[in-house]
Amino acid sequence: MRVLEGIGVSFGIAEGRALVIRRGERDVPRYRIGPAEVRREIRRFLGARMRAREEIGALRERARRTAGERYAGIFDAHQAILDDRGLGRRTIALIRERRINAEWALTRAVSELLATFGGLDDPFFRERGGDIEDVHERLQRVLAGDAPTEAHDLALEEDTIVVAPTLSPSDALWLHQPRIAGFVTEGGSRTSHTAILANALEIPAVLGVERATELIAGGEHLIVDGHEGRVVVAPPDATRKAYADERRRLEELAPREGGWAVPVRTRDGRRIRVAANVEFPEELETCRRVGADGVGLYRSEFLFLTTAPRLPSEEDHFAVYRRILTSAAGQPVVIRTLDLGGEKYFHEVLHGGEANPVMGLRAVRLCLRRPEIFRTQLRALYRAAVGHPNLRVLVPMISSLEEWRRVRAFVGQVVEELPSGERPDPLPPLGCMIEVPAAALEAPRLAREADFLSLGTNDLVQYTLAVDRANAAVAHLHDPFHPAVLELIERTVVAGREASVPVSLCGEMASDPLGAITLVGLGLTDLSCNPLVIPEIRAVLADVDAGEAARTVARARRAGTGPEIRQEIEQAFLPRVRALVGEVRLEPRDGADPPG
């Protein structure tokens, strides 16, 4: 038996035989053309684009029938790439100016566009390059006169796990066939459109498994754990039985079909809201299905990916926000304003690098420096709130009361500019994100001037401990149980309580069962985490006495170090947690939540 690690992106456990797909790069013809052939090559390119548009339209309709309108929208992004004027004009310009064939010109134009995305550090943005490559492959196939992949059906006789270097959304939709039980890929992340579509189709998937096509042989028996991001190769009978039991247990934990969940109650009656962190509007159906109490954090950076290389317009923003608020059916939705910069660096906005980008021009600093970008987003947010009182607006990376006052003044100015019919009444609550130690220390003052506070533990731990968790050399020092981190969290909770201001928390710590217990022990009653772990977190908290958690955490904090604090909490709650969520669900897995 061998166990391979990756990123779990789709709820569920699957078992089957491996179907390994190894794809070589397409051999793109490259040749010079004469002046008389230029018009012909341009016509070939335009004809291929028209045919590809028809194919993507058919895929969109298939996705709508299979997964619903929300997920069909993924192919709108492909259509936008195909119709992008910059890509089309560049391809035609290369044909005319360099006198090269359509395939070669298209490859060069796409390479220039991909270079923009490939240089970004954040996988959230880098993944959009996969959508561009999918469209590029489709155009090259049409130019070559080959039939589309989705025209072929697989005749499978047993449950099968597809193992491939990558899978595009088109591939994922094509592979939604009888006996396809799961996906394993070497590339991809939880923010990819393929991951979102796999989730919609309820196909367990693990992405980012290094050398999967080399380490797995065709026909080998596999178990895919979409929760933990594990692929078990050639499992013995005992392991197969254990996973079968685990699958039944998860089915029991999952909420029954119906509306959105209500806050869970601890054993002593305390109400705890467990909301979801999301990147895409398409994820809201999954959130409802797994029992989320609304959306605790929507990362609005998504919009900048779907419209790249141009910046999203006010109507782009408005359409997505209105869709999210409507889909949430009255459940609270927290939308975080733009958090680009640092590891979320984006060429269209920053136009260059920084020596220390994580500490540089990002999030609210960028928005205040580029008020035209901030104003566009705020106008759309407040317009979308008309008739939707479930909106909460959250501003990231606040580091001082002075900065917060600047934000509030700017927001007030933008709201006053709106026509009276597009101005919500009352205004949505405006919240301050506590992810910089200075903000946590200033929490008592910020709480008096904010409508709510929201702790972002991923960055709070990073900034407090001076640890880059993406750096393997120091990642072991990234400890959410560090006494200093717990003190800053508690200080923020107390500040909110004294000012009668709600305090919520999002981040990986809430996705860890023991972390969630610790947060409840610190007084938090509003958590937001990875949608995939919500059923487990709800089950754990329903079995916990909040008073006991508070006493245990207070006692543990006298121990002195992060590992000692966690050990004390484990001793008190580990047996019950194991009984509910199993032996393997005690640590937040890599990639469970993107930074922020």
Residues involved in catalysis: 193, 506
What pairs with residue 14 in β-bridges? 224
Distance CA 296, CA 287 (A): 11
| Under 8 Å between Cβ of 544 and 266 | yes
Structure tokens at 566: 């966690």
| Under 8 Å between Cβ of 491 and 504 | no
DSSP 347-361: HHHH-S--SSGGGSS
**Which amino acid makes up residue 568?**
E
Distance CA 60, CA 44 (A): 24
Taking phi over 0 as left and psi of -120 to 50 as alpha, with beta for the rest, 341 belongs to left
Q: What is the largest CA-CA distance in the chain?
A: 83
Structure tokens at 109: 């134009």
Residues 6+ apart with CB under 8 A from 186: 164, 165, 166, 208, 209, 210, 211, 212, 213
| Among 506, 524, 482, 513, residue whose Cα is nearest residue 588 | 513
Distance CA 489, CA 482 (A): 11
Structure tokens at 554: 């207070």
